[in-house]
Amino acid sequence: MVNIPAGANYEQLLLELKLNPEEVLIFVDNEPVPFDAPVRPGTVRVLKVVSGG
C-alpha cells in the first residue's frame, strides 16, 4: 500500500514508487490513464515500456 496526499495524480504516485514516468504506462481497471489524472479507486497496473533500436 502507498500513501499519497488527497488529490494526487498518477505522476506523483509513480514518483512515490520511485518509478520514472518516462518508462511506464498506467492502466486503471484495464483502461489507460494520463499521468496528470487524479488517482481514483481501482486496480492500478504499471507496465514498463521497453524500446530498442
pLDDT tens for each residue of 1-16 = 788 889 999 999 999 9
pLDDT tens for each residue of 20-51 = 999 999 999 999 999 999 999 889 999 999 88
User: Is the pTM higher than 0.95?
Assistant: no
Long-range contacts of 6-15 (CB under 8 A, 24+ apart): 7/38, 8/38, 8/39, 9/35, 9/36, 9/37, 9/38, 9/39, 10/34, 10/35, 10/36, 10/37, 10/39, 11/35, 11/36, 12/39, 13/39, 13/44, 14/46
Domain ranges across the chain: 10-48
